Structure 1
Amino acid sequence: MAKTNIVVVGAGYAGVAATKFMAKKFKKDSDVAITLIDRHSYHTMMTELHEVAGGRVEPTAIQYDLQRLFARQKNVTLITDTVTGIDKDQKSVKTVRGNYPFDHLILGMGGEPNDFGTPGVKENGFTLWSFQDAVRIREHIEKTVAKAAIEPDAAVRRAMLTFVVCGSGFTGIEMVGELIDWKDRLATDYKLDPSEFTLKVVEAMPTILNMLDRNDAAKAERYLHKKNVELVLNAPIVAVEADHIKLKDGSTIPTHTLIWTAGVKATSDAADFGLEKARGNRLVANEYMQAKGYETQNIYVIGDLVYYEETANKPTPQIVQAAEQTGHTAAVNIVSTVKGGEKHAFKGNYQGFMVSVGAKWGVANLFDKIHLSGFLAIIMKHIVNLKYFFDIRSGYYMFQYLMHELFHIKDNRTVTYGHSSRYGNVLWSVPLRIFYGLVWFIEAFKKIVGDGNWLQPHTWFGEGSWFTGSSVFPWTWDYQQAAEATSAASGVGADAAATTAETATQAAHFGLSYAYGEQPMAVIEKSPDWFTSIMKVMMPNMEVAMFFQKMMVFVEIGIALAIMAGLFTWLFSASTIVLVLTFCMSGMFYWVNIWFIPVAFALMNGSGRAVGLDRWVIPWLQRTLGKWWYGTPKSIYGQK
């Protein structure tokens, strides 16, 4: 049986969403092959370009390798190539290095900046619509500030330190927000006063953030004024020169940096495909995302490239939500065609809009009902981004996103105001780590030695140890007489549930450190009934209970040795938290030792990488498991 070839052009939000959906639906269909073609070997998180351009995160933070995204989808072939044309009659996609026949074709090549023919934008301005654009802006700003720092002419220096963003949409406002956060670091690095920096937003319209509710936009405007950003409204730019821009009213703004975010149009790569075009070179499609006039050829258009009017004269917006939804619609209809079924018409479902103004402040309008600003809006943006990784089933990049956004970041440029940053010196946690591991080791070893002599191994495992007598767990007391339980439980250490008759008569005193002569207070005096019920299921008789009791001793010793050696410190520190909580619920832990929990949390902050085995083991494990699970990332896919 001949294979059904599905070709997807473009690995943007729309292309990735469509490919992921089809790969899942055709997972068991060996006669269906999916080919994903993109000029790059990676997917770019376009909504975070401003973070790279504004020096917040490293460039690789928004670059997601396609091999890592599709390594587990064996029915997807990755091709790194540039599409040059489409033979609609022969149903073949032409690229620089080959041809790819298709039975179904999805075009999701995205968009590109629209300068509306403004003179000088291409030559003297900077656009922000690709990974390369973001890196170029970042490098230009750093070089320009470095030159300005040694520029003796005050007027030239002022122009060099004036940064202008054209356009007050989401991209423009997010870009100027990053500059707000970055200028203090730039000033420090190049021995400048932050007040020498001038930030401007130039907008042809009388208002900013016109996709937002006016109250939300007003909040953003007030925040920008507070941060000394000048909003130049009703001011179309008519020309861009190397050292200034010209406005429609004849005035000029001296600047060496103009970042153009004023518009977007369909990619010019698709201009010669011979498909019907509409405004902004977007390709016209019907409600099923099929290219108009080529429905029988099974050609679909999605993402920023598609022009489909949801209502009269109102095409799908060029935003991520629309891109993913158009991609999903096309994918669903291809699956329906191949497997049989009804086609599904596109129905936009836009759940809101969010814009960040730097790392710590933003505004959000959700479901046209919920309005957030400040800290909560940024939290919501992170949640939405994390959901995206869940949608495309990439736990690896979800983890990397958290690392880049919360932990591997400098200058307090996080929603937590830098409190979550790992850029602290974890070397000083080494003594605490060794001490904490030693505490667990000694307490576990006491359960082996019991009443014996530490220096005489032949006396171990006898009376008083956890290896002789009956179980010390309180839920096992029903298995024996109360007198036997009291006798067996005595002398097993501070964490045993039962105490001697003498200490039982003493009043327990609350305290976080031991006071001589006082009886410490248990965190929970009696194990809750629900917890006891669970434990009785796990330990239905004394034999099973004793097995768990003995095993627990060796588990604690293993955890202790690993923590002292700095091996899998995060995992084993987290394990001690679980153990302590279990002991607390058992009525076997005292407030004087509750410091175990905050210490374990402290040691989870990478402490094993300082004078510990994690310095070598974790990177090796990441490389080895990453290669096994994802394969080896390459700069070009599809080469023979």
Structure 2
Amino acid sequence: MNTPHVVIIGGGFGGLETAQRLRKANVRVTIVDRHNYHLFQPLLYQVATGGLSPANIATPLRAIVRKQANCEVLMAEVEDIDVTNQKLVLADGELEFDILVVASGATHSYFGRDDWEPVAPGLKTLADATRIRKRIYLAFEAAERETDEELRKALLTFVVVGGGPTGVELAGALSEIAAHTLKHDFRHINPEDSRILVIEAAPHILAHYPEELCKRAAEKVRSLGIEVHTHTKVTEITPDQVRLATADEETVVLTKTVLWGAGVQASPLGKKLAAACGLETDRAGHLPVTDRLNIAGHENIFAIGDIATCLGQDGKPLPGLAAVAVQQGAYVAKRIAAYGAAVGKNSDGGKGLPAMASSATGKPFIYNDKGTMATIGRAAAVAEIGKHQFCGFFAWILWLFVHLMLIVKFQNRVLILLQWAWSYATFNRSNRIISGEQPVVLPEAKDAAASVE
């Protein structure tokens, strides 16, 4: 009896959900990922700011599927997809598939200014998080040694580009670090003198939330001592400064630490697969999919999560949320399992697998929106659940509960809960170690700069 080989590119939320839902299906499953772990991205900002360690939010993929007999993990880099011959082109070989699920996620988007990446790191991977953590704490160390007041101010100025959830979460954590965590750790500087700016081109931060909730969130963010600059674009970033532009003026902010949270683009595999299938991606590299989540004309190739453009019932693309990827993974797994069962019942004696059923059959994918939430800072968050909107402590409790329940491994839930409790009680961030090479390069010259009012 033939058993369809399902290859899943990416061990994130969507890919892992698909694999686990196929544990009893008549298929062979191979998860291909460049890393050997599943990463809980919503808590990356806590690693970047020293609240959690990398091991708290990353779980080995092999450990997760250890007891799933029909699933294996392959740590490899996918360079291309041969649609005609149903093969993945790997950096060190090839891998054949009968059914392909592309869930390779997304990376940062610098809107055509990739030269900004070295001086304004984004936050998508564990490597990004540890790099940002190093920059943040090195800035305080350098300021402690600096005797020039102007340069010290630049070192204690942190600019977060982007007022979405990632940017707001980073800014809130930075505020807590400056106001509480490092308050008594230095002898020559006062960390509370730090200046934290959030730069957002849209009219509001957290712009995908209702306007009233955006305004309440902005008030809370400002109450933490964070400057919120909306209707403001970044026009230049250098190692020593950021140039900002509004409709009326341009200003320059001296800073040594710029963090990027302004945009994302789909994995490069999206454009490669689109070209192979005769399709076009959108500006952010997202693959268009049918309402059954497969590529048009290719019933055995699915794209889910951040790499796909999937329209909701309102006709708008679904947001790049973990909940969307998880529900898409469950839907795709159900379709694949039905196909595997049909193959098992109608084996043709080893003469090959029948084609998958047309995407015109079965029910289309419908996203069940259970709400969205984002943390703002200590004991504060925003949440939209159905018609209900929350901002403050209650929303923060909801955020804690939901994120704990989504953590894959039980022991990680316990460790994170204990660390959160300790951090909340003591304001301490125990994972603020600066590791690796540690050259502290101070600015050699200062430029006159106008501050943003």
What TM-score results when the alignment is normalised by the length of structure 2?
A: 0.84
Amino acid corresponding to residue 380 of structure 2 in structure 1: W
Aligned to 2:371: 352
CA–CA distance in 1 between the matches of 2:146 and 2:280?
Answer: 49
Give yes or no for the alignment of 1:160 onto 2:155.
yes
Give the alignment partner of residue 90 of structure 2, picking from 90, 95, 98.
95
CA–CA distance in 1 between the matches of 2:183 and 2:236?
Answer: 29
Give yes or no for the alignment of 1:179 onto 2:179.
no
Aligned to 1:329: 331
User: How big is the shift at 1:374?
Assistant: 2.4
Alignment deviations for residues 199-256 of structure 1 (CA, whole Å, 9 cap, x no partner): 1100111211112222322222111111110011111101111111111232111111
- Flag the 1:363–1:143 CA change in 2: closer, same or farther, 3 A: same
Give yes or no for the alignment of 1:189 onto 2:207.
no
CA–CA distance in 2 between the matches of 1:336 and 1:42?
Answer: 28
Aligned to 1:132: 127
- Flag the 1:195–1:385 CA change in 2: closer, same or farther, 3 A: closer
Alignment deviations for residues 79-126 of structure 1 (CA, whole Å, 9 cap, x no partner): 111101111111111211222211110000001111111364223111
User: How big is the shift at 1:151?
Assistant: 0.8
Aligned to 1:413: 423
CA–CA distance in 2 between the matches of 1:214 and 1:398?
Answer: 37
Give the alignment partner of residue 362 of structure 2, picking from 308, 324, 343.
343
Alignment deviations for residues 147-202 of structure 1 (CA, whole Å, 9 cap, x no partner): 11101111111111101111111111111111111123234333331332111100
User: How big is the shift at 1:77?
Assistant: 0.4
CA–CA distance in 2 between the matches of 1:217 and 1:45?
Answer: 25
Higher relative contact order (CA 8 A, sep 6+): 2
- Flag the 1:278–1:119 CA change in 2: closer, same or farther, 3 A: closer
Give the alignment partner of residue 245 of structure 1, picking from 219, 228, 242.
242
1:195-594 matches, cutoff 5 A:
195-248=192-245, 249-273=249-273, 274-275=276-277, 276-279=279-282, 280-295=284-299, 298-310=300-312, 314-340=316-342, 343-369=362-388, 371-389=389-407, 394=408, 397-404=409-416, 406-408=417-419, 413-414=423-424, 417-418=425-426
Aligned to 2:9: 9
Q: Is the 8 A contact 2:140 2:156 kept in 1?
A: yes
- Corresponding residue SS for 1:378: helix
User: How big is the shift at 1:387?
Assistant: 3.1
User: How big is the shift at 1:6?
Assistant: 0.5
CA–CA distance in 1 between the matches of 2:244 and 2:150?
Answer: 20
- Flag the 1:277–1:131 CA change in 2: closer, same or farther, 3 A: farther
Aligned to 1:611: none
Larger of the two Rg values belongs to structure: 1
4+ runs of 1 displaced by more than 6 Å?
A: none
Aligned to 1:602: none
- Flag the 1:155–1:64 CA change in 2: closer, same or farther, 3 A: same
CA–CA distance in 2 between the matches of 1:254 and 1:88?
Answer: 50
CA–CA distance in 1 between the matches of 2:119 and 2:268?
Answer: 20
Q: Is the 8 A contact 1:286 1:292 kept in 2?
A: yes
User: How big is the shift at 1:288?
Assistant: 0.8
What TM-score results when the alignment is normalised by the length of structure 1?
A: 0.60
Q: Is the 8 A contact 1:55 1:182 kept in 2?
A: no
- Corresponding residue SS for 1:171: helix
Give yes or no for the alignment of 1:169 onto 2:164.
yes
User: How big is the shift at 1:2?
Assistant: 2.9
CA–CA distance in 1 between the matches of 2:399 and 2:131?
Answer: 25
Aligned to 2:32: 37
Amino acid corresponding to residue 302 of structure 1 in structure 2: I
CA–CA distance in 2 between the matches of 1:310 and 1:222?
Answer: 31
Alignment deviations for residues 57-81 of structure 1 (CA, whole Å, 9 cap, x no partner): 1121111111221111121101111
Amino acid corresponding to residue 190 of structure 1 in structure 2: F
Unaligned runs of 5+ in 2: 343-356, 431-453
CA–CA distance in 2 between the matches of 1:418 and 1:322?
Answer: 35
Amino acid corresponding to residue 396 of structure 2 in structure 1: I
Q: Is the 8 A contact 2:288 2:308 kept in 1?
A: yes
> Comparing both structures, which one devotes a greater share of its residues to helix?
1
- Flag the 1:372–1:181 CA change in 2: closer, same or farther, 3 A: same
Q: Is the 8 A contact 2:32 2:73 kept in 1?
A: yes
CA–CA distance in 1 between the matches of 2:394 and 2:410?
Answer: 20
User: How big is the shift at 1:311?
Assistant: 5.0
- Corresponding residue SS for 1:123: coil
Give the alignment partner of residue 70 of structure 1, picking from 38, 54, 65.
65
- Corresponding residue SS for 1:336: helix
Unaligned runs of 5+ in 1: 424-640
- Corresponding residue SS for 1:93: strand
Alignment deviations for residues 415-468 of structure 1 (CA, whole Å, 9 cap, x no partner): xx459x9x9xxxxxxxxxxxxxxxxxxxxxxxxxxxxxxxxxxxxxxxxxxxxx
Identity %: 26
Select between 377-386 and 195-204 the one with higher mean Cα deviation: 377-386
Q: Is the 8 A contact 1:120 1:241 kept in 2?
A: no
User: How big is the shift at 1:130?
Assistant: 1.4
CA–CA distance in 2 between the matches of 1:352 and 1:56?
Answer: 25
CA–CA distance in 1 between the matches of 2:363 and 2:182?
Answer: 52
- Flag the 1:359–1:413 CA change in 2: closer, same or farther, 3 A: farther
- Corresponding residue SS for 2:312: strand
CA–CA distance in 2 between the matches of 1:109 and 1:320?
Answer: 13
Q: Is the 8 A contact 2:197 2:229 kept in 1?
A: yes
- Flag the 1:80–1:172 CA change in 2: closer, same or farther, 3 A: same
Alignment deviations for residues 247-303 of structure 1 (CA, whole Å, 9 cap, x no partner): 1232111111111111111112433232423221111110111112322xx010000
- Flag the 1:67–1:185 CA change in 2: closer, same or farther, 3 A: same
- Corresponding residue SS for 1:112: strand
- Corresponding residue SS for 1:310: coil
Select between 358-367 and 53-62 the one with higher mean Cα deviation: 358-367
- Corresponding residue SS for 1:334: helix
Amino acid corresponding to residue 401 of structure 2 in structure 1: I
CA–CA distance in 2 between the matches of 1:3 and 1:324?
Answer: 25
- Corresponding residue SS for 1:6: strand
Aligned to 2:442: none
